[in-house]
Amino acid sequence: MTFATTDLCDNHASMLDAGTLAVLPPVYRAFGQRVRFSGPATTLQVFEDNALVRSTLETPGQGHVLVIDGGGSLRRALVGGQLGVLAESNGWSGIVVHGCIRDSEEINVCHIGVRALATHPRKSNKEGTGQRDVRVEISGVAVQPGDWVYADADGILVAGRELD
């Protein structure tokens, strides 16, 4: 996988202007061994409850990026070390969390890319509330299931289609 988000922005400036390519604000921290990852989005909308995150990561990822709209909560973690291992084992390309993770040292040894707002030691609820494969909004950027997500050391992009 060879791409640079800077080049994608330069090469697709008209998509940026049209709103079919968006850049997430630079507020996400990088975790995991994969600095660069991309793939079609699978979306979740949850709030301080990660039961749906677990059940989704238990399925084959097939190179998708799991985009979790956690409402930007900084009060509980939605992804931890066990889920990082699960994502790696099941072929997910990466995870973007509009919220927190925990067990960052465990996630950092997984061959997966993770972006999150912060770390937090408190675990999430396990009630199973939330929705999968719905339009979400993270940091002011809309993400539809199937949109393409590109992440590297310079940023995170969301595109309405796969970019060349």
Name the CATH code of domain 5-159 (choices 3.40.50.300, 3.50.30.40, 3.40.470.10, 3.40.30.10): 3.50.30.40
- The predicted model gives 25-36 an average pLDDT of 98
Rounded to an integer, the average pLDDT of 40-56 is 98
Q: Is 9 exposed, middle or buried (0-12, 13-18, 19+ CB in 10 A)?
A: middle
Q: Coil, strand or helix: which one is 78?
A: strand
- How do residues 132-155 score in pLDDT, each as one tens digit? 999 999 999 999 999 999 999 999
What angle is formed at CA 98 by the lines to CA 96 and CA 104, rounded to 5 degrees?
65
DSSP state of 125: B
Reference 1, options 97, 105, 111; nearest CA is: 111
Q: Which helix (H) or strand (E) segment is 11 a member of?
A: helix 5-11
Q: Tell me how crowded residue 91 is: count the other CB atoms within 10 A of its CB.
A: 14
Q: Residues for the chain: how many in total? A: 164
Q: What is the pLDDT of residue 1?
A: 66
Tens of pLDDT, residues 59-107? 999 999 999 999 999 999 999 999 999 999 999 999 999 999 999 999 9
| Per-residue pLDDT at 26 exceeds 90 | yes
Token digits of residue 7: 């080049």
Q: What gap in Å lies between CA 85 and CA 107, rounded to an integer? A: 7
Percent of the chain exceeding pLDDT 90 equals: 98
- The Cα 150–Cα 145 span in angstroms is 14
The whole-chain average pLDDT of the chain stands at 97
Amino acid 164: pLDDT: 85
Alpha helical stretches, state H, 45-134: 51-57, 81-89, 104-107
Per-domain boundaries in the chain: 5-159
